[in-house]
Amino acid sequence: MKQKLDDFLSVTVEDSLPHTHVLHFQFLIYCSGTRVETDFVECPSQMLENWVWSEQGLNALLGELAGSMPKEDMDKLLKSRNANAGIFYARQLLLATFDQAIHTNRWQWSLVYSADLYESRFHHAPDGGCLSPTVGREYRAKILRPGGTKDAIDMIRDFLGREPDKKAFFKLLGVEP
């Protein structure tokens, strides 16, 4: 029986699939996966979440159903990414303010880094966009594989070829800095 588009998992559920830490290189268990700097621990999985919010990534997830969603609906769905973003980030800032009072603001930096990694390397990759095998292999080699054996900022610099930048994070929010 052919699956209907309406039966497919919601983007909210699909958005959580890439947000796992199973892709970290597990050969060196004590310095891989979530055993990296705290402000980098979410970056690899958050970067993968961007794929769900691109037409190319959604079509890859839809498989045989790709193309069955009207273009207008696809555009509306992709534009809905930032629905309630103001409320979400106001809450994040409240939590971060409290967290800074007792700890640090590391999780938010992970979002900044992940947006830069995605926008700078995957989003416009000439050999497949967000599904680029070339950039994907380099991401695996330079970000996932080293895990905690290298400082996160060094992995980011190595992958980007430059210092990280917050512009992509603001672009993701639809805000110009």
Domain limits of the chain? 28-53+84-173
Structure confidence by residue, pLDDT tens digits, 103-147: 766 778 889 999 999 999 999 899 998 999 999 999 999 999 998
Token pair listed for 47: 């970067």
> What local confidence, expressed as pLDDT, does residue 1 receive?
42
Q: 10 Å Cβ neighbour count for 34? A: 14
What is the pLDDT at residue 152? 92
Query: Does 169 or 99 have the greater pLDDT score?
Result: 169
Residue 13 confidence (pLDDT): 46
Residue 34: the pLDDT is 62
> Could you tell me the sign of the dihedral formed by the alpha carbons of 120, 122, 125, 130, in that order?
negative
- Cβ-proximal residues to 136 (8 Å cutoff; 6+ apart), any chain: 122
**What pLDDT is attached to residue 100?**
77
Measure Cα distances from 91 to 95, 118, 150 in Å.
6, 24, 32
- What is the share, in percent, of the chain residues with pLDDT greater than 90? 47
At 42 the pLDDT is 86
pLDDT score for 156? 97
**Confidence at residue 33, expressed as pLDDT on a 0 to 100 scale:** 59
* 21 vs 74, residue with greater confidence: 74
pLDDT on residue 28: 52
> What per-residue confidence (pLDDT) applies to 30?
52
What token pair was written down for 48? 């993968």
Kindly report, residue by residue over 21-62, the tens digit of the pLDDT.
445 444 555 555 566 887 788 888 889 889 889 999 989 988
Which two structure tokens, joined as six digits, stand for 155? 């992995």
- Contact status, residue 81 vs residue 53, Cβ threshold 8 Å: yes
Task: Report yes or no on whether pTM surpasses 0.85.
Answer: no
